[in-house]
Structure 1
Amino acid sequence: MHDGPSGRDEAGRIVYCRPAVTATTESPETSQTSAGAYTVGELRGWTRYGNLMAFMAEPAGFLRRIAAAGDLVWLRMPGETTVVLRHPALIEQVLVSKNRSFVKDRQTHGLREVVGNGLLVSEGEFWRRQRRMAQPAFHRERIHRHAAGVVAAGERATATWREGQVIDVHAAMMDLAREVVATTLLSSEVGRAAEDLGAALEVVMARYSDWRYALLPGLARVAALPDNRRFAAARARLVAVVDGIIDERRRSGTDRGDLLSMLLAARDEDGSQMSDEQLRDEVTILFMAGHETTALALSWAFVLLGRRPGAWARLGAEVDAVLAGRPASAADLGRLVYTEAVILETMRLYPPAWSIGREALEDVEIGGVPLARGTQVWMFQWSSHRDSRCFPRPLAFEPERWEDGLLQRLPRGAYFPFGGGPRLCIGNNFAMLEAVLLLATIAQRWRPQVAQSDVPRPQFSITLRPRGGVRATLRRR
């Protein structure tokens, strides 16, 4: 196995020692060999479902077993050839240097029934056109214009809090993030529509948290099942609400300064616009991902801060020194160094998007190992972000590890909460702005205290939600 960092490359990134052993090791459950610079393992599955049952029974434990099995690990999944990559260099090959040899995996494409053919799942020239047209809406200057609205939403939400009140801080952060994305994406005049969208998406998320559909995919086609009826109704509601918003905006012709106005005005190189269907797909995925990522980052941050009172103290001291009692702004982002570090460290330990999947579009070699066309390739941020080769004391919550430029020194493929390469999340900069400014706004006046003994279990669904919410007692600073 690799035995730790051995220096840096010409860009200053951490590099690894190569394994000195070539021996093969085996157990009743796993096997492991060396393939040049990387260890190759296999997790055997003994039932018709391969490794799927073990994954379903205890996802976190199963991910630990995969990580211990090697840098490239073969799994046995029903009806498909699956490999998991853990070494940063292998992940970089798939996401960056050889990205044209891959498309999104089957699991991701399964989301089409919810998000249509939006940026998350579209491929090829259609994806490139959509990305090209949407990109101006996410330029730095445009994103920074929304900072005041983000902070104002945080102040409104916390104005109703009371000393000693016990709340589900995850539910509170979901409501807050939904208001922010409704304001920035759809304008503040569609609050009721945002509530309808949020409620429909909750039904959708429940479907993807239900492992019965992974074991028995045919269940999704049984229209009479109550869960399927609820899912169909939620999907129909999503379509109706978003189509209504787009129709009203097209008729009014008003530029409200939100992201939807930018998307409506976008023109491709040939002068063409997005169709209503394309707009609907992009709005749906931006609404879903836009509030989910930030809400989860903040929810898990409060859980982790509850374990380290010293981190709470440092966060409060920085916010007081930088803001001096005034509202935060985009201009403060470069000075809220520790606040940003708290978010980065939270997304290391509890990445909102905990996995990324690809499918080999052609026969391709990764790290010297041949992958046949159609191979499903999984990369788990949950595991990679806890790799001791890149992150000493990997299970410890240490925001200070980011303060000396670690983000720039890490090898590509070591830390990827927003993905990587050409398919990097288009809203990553907005998500970071939102999370940092909301955390600073809340920390100015409040300390949601999560008891160290009250740590929720992660729920491995589309995103990494805290199962059962996050119980916190509000303490005024």
Structure 2
Amino acid sequence: MSTETGGAVGTEPRGPMPLPGPRGLPVLGSLPQFGKDPLAFFERLRGYGDMVSWRFGRNDCVFVSDPTYIGELLTETERTFDQPLLGIAFRTVMGNGVVVARGPDWRRKRSLVQPSVRPKQVKSYASTMTASTVDLADTWSGGERIDVKREMAALTQKIAVRTIFGVDTPADAEAMGRAMDIAQQEIGKEFSGLGAILPDWVPTPGRARIRKAAAVIDAEVGRVVARHRDGDGERPDLLSRLLTAVDETGAHLTDKEIRDETVTLYIGGHETTSSTLVWAWYLLARNPGARAALADELDRVLGDREPGIDDYAQLTYAQAVVKETLRLYPTIWLVTGVAKEGARIGGVPMPAGTRVWSSQWATHRDERWFPQPEEFRPGRWDPEDGDDVPEYAWFPFGGGPRVCLGTRFAMVEAVLILAVLARRFELDVDPGIINPVPTLTLQPDREVMATVRARPASRG
């Protein structure tokens, strides 16, 4: 996710944009309103127009919500827009991995990481995704009560450590999970609170907690990396590929770079997919027609067998369920870039240093691009009869040169997990509205409890 906080600011813009927008407060700008509810704030900004001027603390910013403008921002990153310097909480966890790096350093790291998540490699991980999910399904029984968030987190963590580390668990999976939870929470708190405008050197309780969490993450990743270095033979996991990758000069990634890329891949392969699946079960439970359509597709395509990578292309409704979930509850809910000299959006000059923001949450819920935007309608993604969605009206994985490298991994993983579990079960999520909390990803504001219902034998 691309975010920026005040602890690491760039060049000050030359002056405010002649655009509509909220006036804000002296010094703080619109930070209090943003911090109270970032998602609602971006929806309110959209009400001013497709290009809006606002202030994040003392920083002049522009918010864009039209897909054409969003496309310009995303595709011009690395040319006329810089990846922002991220806040201390985010950088403490993520280091300087491919998500954070800029310029030549980013290009080098992307060239080293990208081969590990190409379609051919994702295909080799699919059997692990399915097998891990079957293991979970074998522990469920009809009438059982489960914590959906806990179950999905444990499953995607198992898949992540198997595909990334090539082992069943890191040295202490529980400690790693707790540390990641703390990291998510503290990044969200710092980003939307006063920590967003505090210099990096100012100590706060939240920054102390995130340093402790990062130390746990570092220790666990370090143990697994050391185990790999001591091993013999070639392994198919992501970490092994990173350890053997070389750049154009013949240099390997350093130990610090290995740590940063491993954590980036872990979060991308675990935290984001887990969150998406929780929201998918929540939405399916509240939309019985969609749940029945998914079951019908699974019976037709799979019958009594488990899904594999060769079934992915045929599971079009399952893909649509994931896409519609990511529309309503996008894991990455915010992108931002910093204008360089000569930057423009929609023909409007962006003074150097201007922060240009866009929000998947706001654009994905715009009725101009998505009729009945609050409704869960997987059919809008039907390859033949679906809606005509403009490019960059749906951008849950970002876009342009810095599009998320794990996009295909995440889509395949989510679809295969849904296919394995929904072929056997329905999850009746408890009644009541669950609201999203914007941390590193969009998380439910309470437990997501459900009753497991066994489906009848397949009619396929």
TM-score strictly above 0.5: yes
Q: In 1, distance between residues paired with 2:137 and 2:355?
A: 44
**Corresponding residue to 1:75 among 32, 54, 64:** 54
Change in CA separation of 1:412 and 1:108 when aligned onto 2, cut-off 3 Å: farther
Q: In 2, distance between residues paired with 1:250 and 1:105?
A: 34
8 Å Cα contact 1:107-1:357 kept in structure 2: no
Matched, 1:135 2:114: yes
Matched, 1:387 2:358: no
**Corresponding residue to 1:240 among 200, 204, 219:** 219
Change in CA separation of 1:285 and 1:476 when aligned onto 2, cut-off 3 Å: same
For residue 465 of structure 1, report the CA deviation from its aligned partner. Answer: 0.8
Q: In 1, distance between residues paired with 2:307 and 2:238?
A: 22
Which residue is equivalent to 2:436?
A: 458
For residue 186 of structure 1, report the CA deviation from its aligned partner. Answer: 0.5
8 Å Cα contact 1:213-1:220 kept in structure 2: no
Which residue is equivalent to 1:476?
A: 454
Partner SS, residue 190 of structure 1: coil
Matched, 1:359 2:359: no
For residue 406 of structure 1, report the CA deviation from its aligned partner. Answer: 8.1
Aligned runs of 1:50-61 on 2, under 5 Å?
A: 50-61=29-40
**Corresponding residue to 1:440 among 388, 411, 419:** 419
Q: In 2, distance between residues paired with 1:356 and 1:208?
A: 15
8 Å Cα contact 1:133-1:266 kept in structure 2: yes
For residue 404 of structure 1, report the CA deviation from its aligned partner. Answer: 2.5
For residue 43 of structure 1, report the CA deviation from its aligned partner. Answer: 1.6
**Corresponding residue to 2:101 among 118, 122, 131:** 122
Give the AA of the match of 1:461: T
**Corresponding residue to 2:149 among 170, 187, 196:** 170
Equivalenced residue count is: 438
Q: In 1, distance between residues paired with 2:200 and 2:146?
A: 35
Q: In 2, distance between residues paired with 1:207 and 1:198?
A: 14
% identical equivalent positions: 37
Note the residue ranges of structure 1 that are not aligned, 5 or more in a row.
Answer: 1-33
Give the AA of the match of 1:468: R
8 Å Cα contact 2:284-2:291 kept in structure 1: yes
Change in CA separation of 1:441 and 1:403 when aligned onto 2, cut-off 3 Å: same
Q: Which has the higher contact order (CA 8 A, sep 6+)?
A: 2
Which residue is equivalent to 2:3?
A: none
8 Å Cα contact 2:92-2:210 kept in structure 1: no
Matched, 1:449 2:428: yes
Which residue is equivalent to 1:185?
A: 164
Q: In 2, distance between residues paired with 1:374 and 1:318?
A: 50
8 Å Cα contact 2:89-2:186 kept in structure 1: no
Partner SS, residue 65 of structure 1: helix
8 Å Cα contact 2:87-2:191 kept in structure 1: no
Change in CA separation of 1:341 and 1:108 when aligned onto 2, cut-off 3 Å: farther
8 Å Cα contact 2:38-2:192 kept in structure 1: no
Q: In 2, distance between residues paired with 1:332 and 1:389?
A: 33
For residue 227 of structure 1, report the CA deviation from its aligned partner. Answer: 4.2
Partner SS, residue 257 of structure 1: coil
Matched, 1:207 2:200: no
Q: In 1, distance between residues paired with 2:136 and 2:178?
A: 19
Aligned runs of 1:288-307 on 2, under 5 Å?
A: 288-307=267-286
Give the AA of the match of 2:51: L
Render the CA deviation track for 1:129-166: whole Å, top value 9, x for unaligned. 11111111112111111111101111112222232222
Matched, 1:231 2:179: no
Q: In 2, distance between residues paired with 1:133 and 1:125?
A: 13
Change in CA separation of 1:327 and 1:98 when aligned onto 2, cut-off 3 Å: closer
Aligned runs of 1:275-286 on 2, under 5 Å?
A: 275-286=254-265
For residue 436 of structure 1, report the CA deviation from its aligned partner. Answer: 0.2
Note the residue ranges of structure 2 that are not aligned, 5 or more in a row.
Answer: 1-16, 456-460
Which residue is equivalent to 2:12?
A: none
For residue 108 of structure 1, report the CA deviation from its aligned partner. Answer: 6.0
Partner SS, residue 49 of structure 1: coil
Which residue is equivalent to 1:145?
A: 124
TM-score by length of 1: 0.87
Partner SS, residue 410 of structure 2: helix
8 Å Cα contact 1:353-1:418 kept in structure 2: yes
8 Å Cα contact 1:155-1:441 kept in structure 2: yes
Partner SS, residue 169 of structure 2: helix
Q: In 2, distance between residues paired with 1:55 and 1:278?
A: 33
Q: In 1, distance between residues paired with 2:48 and 2:385?
A: 27
For residue 361 of structure 1, report the CA deviation from its aligned partner. Answer: 2.6
Q: In 2, distance between residues paired with 1:346 and 1:131?
A: 28
8 Å Cα contact 2:77-2:337 kept in structure 1: no
Partner SS, residue 47 of structure 2: helix
Change in CA separation of 1:72 and 1:398 when aligned onto 2, cut-off 3 Å: same
Of Structure 1 and Structure 2, the greater strand share is in 1
TM-score by length of 2: 0.90
Render the CA deviation track for 1:287-339: whole Å, top value 9, x for unaligned. 11211111111111111112210111111111111111111100000110100
Q: What RMSD in Å do the two structures reach over aligned CA positions?
A: 2.2
Q: In 2, distance between residues paired with 1:406 and 1:354?
A: 27
Render the CA deviation track for 1:418-440: whole Å, top value 9, x for unaligned. 01011011111000000000001
8 Å Cα contact 1:355-1:381 kept in structure 2: yes
For residue 205 of structure 1, report the CA deviation from its aligned partner. Answer: 1.3
8 Å Cα contact 1:301-1:346 kept in structure 2: yes
For residue 218 of structure 1, report the CA deviation from its aligned partner. Answer: 4.3
8 Å Cα contact 1:213-1:219 kept in structure 2: no
Q: In 2, distance between residues paired with 1:408 and 1:306?
A: 23
Aligned runs of 1:363-442 on 2, under 5 Å?
A: 363-404=342-383, 410-442=389-421
For residue 399 of structure 1, report the CA deviation from its aligned partner. Answer: 0.2
Partner SS, residue 81 of structure 1: strand
For residue 209 of structure 1, report the CA deviation from its aligned partner. Answer: 2.9
Which residue is equivalent to 2:8?
A: none
